[in-house]
């Protein structure tokens, strides 16, 4: 049975050196740990990651159809229905028929939803602070900049000219 110390990525006796040099493995391991920590923090306040994601998209971009919200949040349409049911049951979003097309719904964040989003922002700010504790303010900014540049590079189609 492995102890928590044996699961640490940087434990030299447990992780072969060549694996430590694989960016995809390091980033994947870091992502798994950060998702776990954020998920635990959100569950402690009765929320899920997708609650935060949907509320944040509605707050920033305004009302949206379920299809548009699915695209913005990258939550599968079938999963989004469950998320929206939870959010609507708690009064954080409102679904109403689209005046332009009665076959679809438009989702809008409510005032209570905005307050809930602010609470979740606060929880996740604490998570970010915990995760990034070993880094200075400048290092944190640099990390975000570097990861943003890598992601922008990877999402840009290669030039086939």
**What is the model's pTM?**
0.81
pLDDT at 10 (0 to 100): 55
Q: Is the dihedral of CA 50, 76, 145, 22 positive or negative?
A: positive
pLDDT tens-digit readout, 56-99? 999 999 999 999 999 999 999 999 999 999 999 999 999 999 88
Residue count of the chain = 161
Q: Give kind and range of the element (H or E) at residue 96.
A: strand 93-98
- Tokens 């290669």 identify what position? 158
pLDDT at 161 (0 to 100): 47
* CATH placement of domain 47-126: 1.10.10.10
Q: Are strands 93-98 and 64-65 parallel, antiparallel or unpaired?
A: unpaired
C-beta contacts of 90-98 below 8 A and 24+ residues apart: 90/116, 92/51, 92/55, 92/116, 93/54, 93/55, 93/58, 98/65
Phi, psi angles (nearest 5°) of residue 145: -60, -50
Buried b (16+ CB within 10 A) or exposed e, 121-159: eebbeebeeeeeeeeeeeebeeeeeeeeeeeeeeeeeee
What residue ranges of the chain have pLDDT lower than 50?
1-7, 11-12, 161
Angle at Cα 17 formed by Cα 11 and Cα 19, nearest 5°? Answer: 95
Using alpha carbons, list the distances in angstroms from residue 43 to 12, 19, 29, 82, 107: 33, 32, 21, 16, 24
What would the two tokens of residue 131 be?
Answer: 């995760």
């Amino acid at each position: 049975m492995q102890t928590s110390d044996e699961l640490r990525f940087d434990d030299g006796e447990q992780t072969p050196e060549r694996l430590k040099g694989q960016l995809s493995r390091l980033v994947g391991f870091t992502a798994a740990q950060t998702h776990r920590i954020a998920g635990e923090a959100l569950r402690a306040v009765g929320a899920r990651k997708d609650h935060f994601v949907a509320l944040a998209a509605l707050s920033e971009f305004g009302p949206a159809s379920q299809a548009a919200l699915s695209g913005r949040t990258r939550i599968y349409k079938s999963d989004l229905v469950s998320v929206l049911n939870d959010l609507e049951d708690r009064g954080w979003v409102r679904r109403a028929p689209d005046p332009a097309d009665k076959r679809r719904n438009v989702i809008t964040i409510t005032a209570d939803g905005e307050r809930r989003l602010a609470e979740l922002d606060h929880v996740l700010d604490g998570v970010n602070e915990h995760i990034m504790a070993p880094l200075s303010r400048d290092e944190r900014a640099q990390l975000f900049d570097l990861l943003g540049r890598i992601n922008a590079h990877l999402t840009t189609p290669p030039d086939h000219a």
